Amino acid sequence: MIRLDGISKIFPGVKSLDNVSFEARAGEVHALLGENGAGKSTLIKVISGAYIPDDGTIYFNGKKSKWTSPKGAKDAGIHIIYQELVLFHELSVAENIFIGEAPLTWFGTIDYKAMYERAEEILDRLGHHIDVQALVKSLGVADQQMVEIAKALVGETKLLVLDEPTAVISGREAEILFERIKLLRDEGVCIIYISHRLEEIFSIADRVTVLKDGQLIDTRGIEELDRDQLVGMMVGRQLKDVFPAKKIPSRQVTPVLAIRNLCAPPKVKDVSFNLYAGEILGIAGLVGAGRSELAHALFGSIPRSSGTVTLDSEIFNTPSPRESIDRGLGFLTEDRKGEGLMMLLDISANISAPVLSEFTTVTGLDRAREVQVAKDQIHRFRIAVPSPGSGVSTLSGGNQQKVLFGRWTKACRRVLILDEPTRGIDVGAKVEIYEIIRQLANDGLGILMISSELTEIVGICTRVLVMREGFITGEVEGSQIIEEVIMKYATTESDSVTTGIGDVLIK
């Protein structure tokens, strides 16, 4: 179906793709794997015509491809779901699904009626119900991802590329997506699938191609491989223990952080829990359960309507990020680029940002000390950077995330909130980050970790709260921390609110 021959793509200073040859057949799901920055997305963009390769040829259906823009690829029957959502917030769901190819009336005007009907039909096929006239900006991220997927079902698709489509949707929706993918495959569509979640690869992929540092490692049938081998191909070494050993802290009498009846409309409803020093408290739940909002409400970056937050037995109810930081909280957000890093600034400035006043002297900012601190953190977290003065925009995702760890471990003394700390990060970097988290807990920080990846919740947390629709619906501990139990709380109706949560609250 599609064959790439000796493709190279060079960005200033980076050889994103280095003589990569690769082929995907009609009627197969071909997984594309590799660490962050391996060049997967670049490869996709070369296929879509968004990037022009510096070298090499693309053959589509045996013929040399001619397109030089996404429009050309689209016309040829290639549909791509990009890693970043490609949606227009001010247009309706239906308009987004049919962007550029809306049904027309006789006069060449858009036939809105037909468009709405067909949009509903497509969403039906995905088993996902959204108001097709609603503006996309009013949807949650999961719904938005489904709209993105629905776009692929418009028109005749010969080659479908999905770049990390499940990063933000829940298990149930992922299941439906996989069913559709399999259906399409059986209809003879060629599918290229990218994901960092290895379980998914094993459940749907037929063949796997691994990239590393812009170079092709190998293409294999999935049946030839097991998990460890695959990881070995990706990181170039064997990874035995992904998660560090758990260490249950001795239960102190007073929690470092106690939340009572916290409400932050519309997403967070009546949340109460305790967090103890030295523990890694996981918050699990489906996307849209309100976990991020809970974290924001705790940190003071969205307003709370009621409830109390006690830190070290001291109530603080006038929350603002500044106040929270001053009291020893840290918050590593889920959106690394949008809410985390300052892309135009260097690493040292990124690290010192929350505690600038510490570096302030009468003569201004103490640059020397700032750089020294950055050096320490680079050393501590083994961040692969040339110097503390280099920019963060050129770093790989994993290293960017480590810079954020560097920032918050400098600033934070009591509680560190982590929201999806490993989202979009490759396995190698993940392992390092798990170790960092473990180490921080051992050093006495209370860690609140939100994650949508159940394996990592199970693998690293010493206690887990489960959220659904803004409420905490369950708490599990010790040997109870298994995927089945967590999923049960995350999905079933509220009669299953356990006594576990009560136990915590009694003090």
Partner 1 sequence: MNDVTVNLAKGASRRFQQITQFIAPISLLSLVSIATLLQPSFLSINNIQDILTQAAPLALVVLGQAFVILVRGLDLSVASLMASAAVLATAFNATSDAMIPVIFLVTIVASACVGLINGLLVTKRNVSPFLATLAMMIVLQGIRFYYTQGAPSGSLPEGFRVLGAGRLTGIPVNMLVFFLFFFILGWLLHKSSFGRRVYITGGNPKSANLVGIYADRVIIICYVISSLMAGISGLILVGFVGTVDNWVGRGYEIDSIVACVLGGIMLNGGKGTLWGAVTGALILILMFNIVIILGLPVQAQLIIKGIIIIFVAGLFSRSIQT
Partner 2 sequence: MMLSKSNNRVRRLKLDPSLIIVILLLAIVIVCGFFLNERFGTMRNFMNVLEQSSGLGFASIGQAMVVIVGGIDLSIGAIITASTVFMAAVVDVHPGLMIPMIFGTLLFGVAIGFCNGYLTLKTGVHPLIVTLGTASILNGSVLIYTLQPTGGVPYWFEEFAYGRIWNVPISGAVMIVCFALVWLFLHYYQTGRAFYAVGGSPEAAHLCGIQSNRVILLAYSASGFFAALAGIYFVSRTGVGDPRIGDPITLSSITPVILGGLILGGGKGNIFGVLLGVIFISLLSNLLNYMNISTFIQWVIQGVIIIIAVSVYVHKGKNL
Ligand X SMILES: Nc1ncnc2c1ncn2[C@@H]1O[C@H](COP(=O)(O)OP(=O)(O)OP(=O)(O)O)[C@@H](O)[C@H]1O
Restricting to residues 190-229, name those near partner 1 by CB under 8 A: 213
Q: Tell me the C-alpha to C-alpha distance, in Å, between residue 465 and each of 185, 279, 316, 478, 480.
A: 38, 13, 23, 12, 12
How many Å is the Cα radius of gyration of the chain? 24
**Contact region with ligand X (CB under 6 A), list: 33-41, 100-108, 202-210, 270-278:** 33-41
In whole angstroms, how far apart are CA 245 and each of 388, 428, 438? 32, 17, 8
Residue-wise burial string across 461-495, b where 16 or more C-beta atoms lie within 10 A, e elsewhere: bbbbbbbbebbbbbbbeeeebeeebbbebbbeeee
Determine the straight-line distance between the first and last CA of the chain, rounded to whole angstroms: 64
DSSP string computed for 310-342: EETTEE--S--HHHHHHTTEEEE-S-IIIII--
12 binds partner 1 per the rule CB under 8 A: yes
16 binds ligand X (CB under 6 A): yes
Count the Cβ atoms, other than its own, within 10 Å of residue 390: 13
Nearest to 373 by CA among 396, 397, 354, 401: 354
Q: Does 400 bind partner 1 (CB under 8 A)?
A: no
Regarding 319 and contact with ligand X (CB under 6 A), the answer is no
Hey, which residues between 286 and 305 contact ligand X (CB under 6 A)? 287-293
Give the range of 83-91, 170-178, 337-345, 406-414 binding Mg ion by CB under 5 A: 83-91
Question: Length of the chain, please?
Answer: 507
Among 20, 35, 41, 294, binds Mg ion (CB under 5 A): 41
> In sequence order, what E strands does 63-158 have?
63-64, 78-81
- In the list 5, 8, 14, 99, the residue contacting ligand X (rule: CB under 6 A) is 14
Q: In whole angstroms, how close is the CB of 341 to ligand X at the nearest point?
A: 14
User: In the complex, what is the shortest distance from the CB of residue 41 to Mg ion, in angstroms, rounded to a whole number?
Assistant: 3
Please pick, from the candidates 8, 61, 83, 133, the single residue that binds Mg ion as defined by CB under 5 A: 83
Q: Which DSSP symbol is given to 492?
A: S
Residues in touch with partner 2 (CB under 8 A): 48, 50, 69-71, 73-75, 80, 82, 84-91, 95, 99-102, 104, 108-110, 116, 120, 133
Among 146, 152, 169, 450, binds ligand X (CB under 6 A): 450
Q: Between 120 and 419, whose beta carbon lies closer to partner 2?
A: 120
Segment (H or E) for 25: none
Rounded Cα distance between 490 and 467, Å, is 6
Residues of this chain that bind partner 1 (CB under 8 A): 12-15, 37, 213, 299, 301, 320-322, 324-326, 331, 333, 338-345, 349, 352-354, 356-357, 359-360, 363-365, 384-387, 390-391, 394, 396, 398-399, 407, 411
Residues of this chain that bind ligand X (CB under 6 A): 11, 14, 16, 34, 36-42, 83, 137, 139-141, 267, 285, 287-293, 334, 397, 420, 424, 450, 452
